[in-house]
Amino acid sequence: MSALVELVDLSVTYAERGGKRRLKAVDGVSLSLARGGSAALVGESGSGKSTLARALAGLVEPEGGSLRFDGREVASLSPPERFALRRRVQLVFQDPFASLDPRLSVEELLGEPLEIHRVGDARARRARSFALLEAVGLSTQDIGRYPHEFSGGQRQRLAIARALALEPELLILDEPTSALDVSVQAQILNLLASLRERFGLAYLFITHDLSLVHQMCERVAVMYFGRVVEENDTAAFFREPLHPYSKALVALARRAADARALLVSAEAPSPFDLPAGCSFHPRCPRRAELGSRCVGERPALARLGRACAPSVACHLLDSERAR
Amino acid sequence: MTLLQVDNLRVRYDTPRGPLWAVDQLSFKLESGEMVALVGESGSGKSTTALAILGLVPYSGGVVETGEIWYGGRNLLALDEREFRKLRASEIALVFQDASAALNPFLTIGVQLAEVLEVHRGLSRREALTESARALGDVGIPDPESRLHAYPHELSGGQRQRALIAMSLVAKPKVLIADEPTTALDPAVALTVLDLLKREREERGAGVVLVSHDLELVHATANRVHVMYAGRVIEQADAHELFEHPWHPYTAALWRARARLGGERRHRLAAVPGAPAELTALPTGCAFHPRCELATDRCRRERPDLSGLRRAETGMSLSSGRRAACFEKERVAGAHAETLEA
């Protein structure tokens, strides 16, 4: 079975506003997401995880590399084909207070994507809206209400319903629960889990919340300054993270006693002035073992075995394996 | 030594939909060196409580209806604005969360720090700058003398956050109010902030009021916890007791509902049904009853007050000061005792 999404050496660059500097927000990322699979991109702010997600959704243009959806190179698609592709990838944002137009009723919010993509007539769209409300656990009586009449959790249900309107194959979820009350977060995660089973959706979560990753995802990719430093099965990742940076992230999330020691400096470098070699080397806890390659050569993401084996970008782990 | 004592605080906001009480019947104490957490969701009253301690309720459009907040032998709520302004930052300070919003982009870090000392401690600019450099060094900013001349945008994100903390701490306040101090931060920087707060408590005996919705954070860092729901404290206990053996169904439900890092992944999370109570449309009786699986007719009619456990046979320690506002708390506490035995 081919992957639903396949990235090879993908890069996205931003030009600094009013300046001459350029920022490689995504720098040569290769990843794939299985049909119906669930994966997470994790990393600190500025790691490029949101930019990568926006590139997948067609909201920013990659500068280089390949992005394939369902086996087809996205860059080579004609404009109508790209328009059609948008139906298949939908986004859910962090803040349901900001992402829903307050002037539109529920019926308009749910009908709008169908209208834009010319799906069905008014009656069919209304029927579809009812089905969507039911799917996300809202009442069909809510159809005439407006976003401000709903609680945060209900609004996020509404945003999910809207994202599902066009029957996408991939939902990109950017911190979908971090703006919600704690008691409501679990409701939304449970809803997402059941929708995925029901509709065979693939999920890509963008998050800094590792407990969400543990609960919701099969695969996890850790990003550091635009590059993936580890890609792994989630269970294996939490049992034993491989990259020194992953180890630090997991220890910090667990509030482990040794978390402080796992990041030599809490300070991340400036994205405009990244260290040579492995960008992580000035913060690497294995300082004493750092070799000339760590400081001089950027490590490539290398798979440690067959198909589902983890991939890591670390010279130290490379040389350990070679031994 | 008790630093701060809040007694029977009640704060009202008048809204187009009628009056609402964001905080009601709130009492707690903060001891020197201690971290007390106010935990709750939106509308629970935790941030309003923080505003009240800082004397800022009138600026938010609210009215303190009743209550006293005792600090250093004085009732803060009886002070006029001029007197309160003297206390703010020098004695009772807010630890800001968002460095990009709280620092003035047009002033150097040194000027912003020194200003606090000039105003509150009457230092000269020169003395204040020397003190400011020390404060920056204290929070781990390398080469602090030269960083005094930097503008906020010239610091890295992590350093800006440290500079902001330095600004809260520069006048050595006794009471620190930390409202979601780490929510917007990357985990490594968040840890630094928590370490700094801990050091203030241990080295100078400062007290911290932590306002947060993050149960794991509270569990790991606070000494005592007050769980708030719809403006009232519904449970108060030592942090470790509270989460290991909750008495209130809301505390128990919140703790169960969270996604966890360790252990086997569960098929579904134990979600709490419904949404946090709306203060403009509070249910009758216990505000949590529409979401509570233990609710009885009494819970729907009558509002429970905070009290200790009635029966000792639940096998739980009846530690002093521990209270919950629930008619069914013996059942919740007992359920835990049973699971422990099983």
Least confident range from A36-50, A109-123, B156-170: namely B156-170
In angstroms, rounded to a whole number, what is the distance separating the alpha carbons of residues A130 and A138?
9
Structural domain tally of chain B?
1
Strand-pair partners of B178: B95, B210
Residue B175 near residue B93 (C-beta atoms within 8 A)? yes
| pLDDT, tens digit (0-9, with 9 covering 90-100), for B163-172 | 998 999 999 9
Within-domain flag for B168: yes
Calculate what percentage of chain B has a pLDDT beyond 70.
Answer: 95
Q: Residue B259 carries which side chain, given as an amino acid letter?
A: A
Contacts of B193 (CB under 8 A, 6+ apart): B95, B161, B165, B181, B182, B185
**Strands lying side by side in the sheet with B74-75:** B18-31, B2-15, B62-71, B74-75
Within-domain flag for B102: yes
Give the pLDDT score at B341: 41
| pLDDT, tens digit (0-9, with 9 covering 90-100), for A152-197 | 999 999 999 999 999 999 999 999 998 898 889 999 999 999 999 9
DSSP per residue, A143-176: GG--GGGS-HHHHHHHHHHHHHTT--SEEEEEST
Within-domain flag for B99: yes
Look at A240 and A267; give whichever has higher pLDDT: A240
Count of residues making up chain A: 323
Structural domain span for residue B151: 95-172
Residue A116 near residue A83 (C-beta atoms within 8 A)? no
Cβ pair A211:B259 closer than 8 A: yes
Is A273 near chain B, with CB under 8 Å?
no
Least confident range from A199-208, A259-268, A278-287, A293-302: namely A259-268
Within-domain flag for B284: no
Within-domain flag for B163: yes
Within-domain flag for B85: no
Print burial letters for B227-256: b (CB count within 10 Å at least 16), e (below 16). Answer: bbbbbbbbbbbebebbbebbbbbbbbbbbe
CA atoms within 13 A on the CB side of B105: 3
Q: Which residue of A has its CA nearest to B270?
A: A186
Burial class (CB in 10 A: 0-12, 13-18, 19+), A231: buried
User: Which among B189, B216, B254 has the least Cβ separation from residue A266?
Assistant: B189
Q: Which residue of B has its CA nearest to A42?
A: B186
Residue A81 near residue A30 (C-beta atoms within 8 A)? no
Q: Residue B273: its chain A contacts at CB < 8 A? A: 187
Within-domain flag for B127: yes
User: Which among B214, B265, B273 has the least Cβ separation from residue A214?
Assistant: B265
If one counts every other C-beta atom within 10 angstroms of the C-beta of residue B87, the result is: 21
Within-domain flag for B157: yes
Strand residue runs (E) in chain B = 2-15, 18-31, 35-39, 62-71, 74-75, 92-95, 175-179, 207-212, 224-229, 232-238, 323-324
Place of tokens 């990109």: A172
Residue A13 near residue A77 (C-beta atoms within 8 A)? no
User: Which among A186, A250, A252 has the least Cβ separation from residue B269?
Assistant: A186
